[in-house]
Amino acid sequence: MTRIKLSAAILLGLVILSIVSGAWIIGSCRDLQIRSIQVEEAWLAGDVEEAYRLACRLEEDWESFRRPAAVFLRSRELLEIDRITSRVRYRTASGGELQPELAELRHMLEQLRSSVIPRPETVL
């Protein structure tokens, strides 16, 4: 009976862990997407200084998400977003093409977000 109780407890723990980690990943990705929109808005408004500041915040937010997220997500999924956030900050400062980078970043964050939501297409 101890084994059955222990198994039930472990399963319950795994379910809770998956729900909590999923909710955290979804929430964090959404926050990062909002931050990228803010960078784009500031950039389009011609406020380069504000866009740079927000891009730095975006990179910081990503860094603080990436470390614990590496426990749950494959590192190659995170590596590409890591590169894009670095490029966004660089391009905001140097005046390069920013919008395609931000669009790609949002797209990758959306992919990351939907990968943890159990839907038929993600499960199957």
Give me the residues that bind another protein (CB under 8 A), please: 3-4, 6-8, 10-11, 14, 17-18, 70-76
Q: Residue 84 CB: number of other CB atoms within 10 A?
A: 21
Q: Taking the complex as a whole, how short is the minimal distance between the CB of residue 4 and another protein, in angstroms? A: 5
In the complex with another protein, the residue whose CB is nearer, 14 or 103, is 14
The whole-angstrom separation of Cα 115 and Cα 43 is 30
The whole-angstrom separation of Cα 60 and Cα 19 is 25
Rounded CA Rg of the chain: 18
In the complex with another protein, the residue whose CB is nearer, 58 or 78, is 78
Q: Taking the complex as a whole, how short is the minimal distance between the CB of residue 87 and another protein, in angstroms? A: 22
For 43, 86, 90, the CA distances from 51, given in Å and listed in that order, are 5, 14, 11
Q: Taking the complex as a whole, how short is the minimal distance between the CB of residue 6 and another protein, in angstroms? A: 7
In the complex with another protein, the residue whose CB is nearer, 99 or 114, is 114
